[in-house]
Amino acid sequence: MNNEKSIEVKNLSYSVVDKDILKNITLSIDKGKFYSIIGPNGSGKTTLLKNISNSLDVKKDKVFIESKDILNYNYKDLAKTMSYVPQDNESNFDFKVWDIVLMGRYPYLRRFQQESEQDIEIAQNALKLTKTFHLKDKNIKFLSGGERQRVFIARALTQETGILILDEPISMLDMHHALEIMDTIKDLNSKVGITILTVLHDLNIAAEYSDKLILVDEGEIVALGTPEEVLTEENLEKVYKVKVSISKNPYTNKPHIIPIPNSYYR
């Protein structure tokens, strides 16, 4: 049994002015597993991801990537180990899609070194995986939100890291493209062994694709475990303040959440 940890968070707290966003979070992410962070708006999900990805000022001995303090990585070495796709991927630059995706190879290039044929092939494959190859000559500014999201996922895949972190990767996608992206991410996890850590709002999608769920509320971890362990009527009513009915997807046997309108109880 593989007990290696890709990510470890130890007693992590984070505050803005006088507001506590994260409260003493301790968390381990097993290597090669698919984890999703769920929870209501404002619960600290994105702040947790930003700390783990070193997008915020992290204190020493709080976040470890492959057993090494994240503060002991230089930029390029961290970018070879972990890739991060933020929620907001607005771009005000006149870059073509191809140029943005190829930027994922930057950590592997020496100063002034040109991309090799292998770098080009890796970027092309990432475009094909995310169904964005046909957009490669388009200006990123003129893509839809969903198209832009898939392009930035392609750039993350081009980094070829062992850890992929995504903040709401399907929030701007329709059902068809959302499932395509989730299938792609799951394939990278199950077939290539990439560790996945993502924030998802759709509880049913999270249940279908995740090995483990991390339920967060008010800056604290309320529950961590399999979808069946975390997605209980008690947990969801406590955190989301709604009553739900939980059944099983007849095709996958995974938990399926049906919210019950408040009007039903009036």
> Which tens digit of pLDDT belongs to each residue from 80-132?
999 999 887 666 668 999 999 999 999 999 888 888 999 999 999 999 988 89
147 pLDDT more than 90: no
**Model pLDDT, residue 191:** 87
In a domain, 74, yes or no: yes
Q: Radius of gyration over alpha carbons of the chain, in Å?
A: 19
Residue 85 lies in a domain: yes
- Look up the domain containing 68 and give its range: 5-227
- Give the per-residue pLDDT at 265: 67
Q: Phi and psi for 19 in degrees, rounded to 5?
A: -100, 125
| Number of neighbours of residue 231 by Cβ within 10 angstroms | 24
CA 117 from centre of chain: 29
**Sequence letter at residue 174:** D
For the chain, give the number of residues. Answer: 266
Give the pLDDT of residue 91: 63
175 found inside a domain: yes
Residue type, 198: T
Q: Is the pTM of this model over 0.75?
A: yes
Mean pLDDT of 55-78: 93
Domain count across the chain: 1
Q: Is residue 260 part of a domain?
A: no
HEC-encoded secondary structure of 88-144: CCCCCCCCEHHHHHHHHHHHHCCCCCCCCHHHHHHHHHHHHHCCCHHHCCCEHHHCC
Q: Is the pLDDT score of 70 beyond 90?
A: yes
CATH of the domain at 178: 3.40.50.300
Q: Are 101 and 158 in contact (CB under 8 A)?
A: yes
The yes-or-no verdict on residue 1 having pLDDT over 50 is no
Which run of H or E residues covers position 55? none
Of 205, 204, 215, residue with least CA distance to 259 = 204
| Confidence at residue 76, expressed as pLDDT on a 0 to 100 scale | 93
Q: What angle do CA 140, 155, 63 make, to 5 degrees?
A: 125
Distance CA 204, CA 187 (A): 18
Q: Is the pLDDT score of 237 beyond 50?
A: yes
pLDDT of residue 149: 86
Q: In whole numbers, what is the pLDDT of the chain averaged over residues? A: 92
Q: What pLDDT was estimated at residue 92?
A: 63
Q: Which residue has the higher pLDDT, 144 or 159?
A: 159
In a domain, 116, yes or no: yes
Q: In this structure, is residue 235 part of a structural domain? A: no
How many Å apart are CA 181 and CA 186, to the nearest integer? 9
User: pLDDT tier at 247 (50, 70, 90 boundaries)?
Assistant: very high
* C-alpha dist (Å) from residue 81 to 106, 138, 154: 13, 29, 16
Tell me: pLDDT of 235 over 90.
Answer: yes
CA 161 – CA 138 distance, rounded (Å): 26
Share of the chain above pLDDT 70, in %: 96
- How many CA within 13 A on the CB side of residue 256? 7
Residue 237 lies in a domain: no
In a domain, 244, yes or no: no
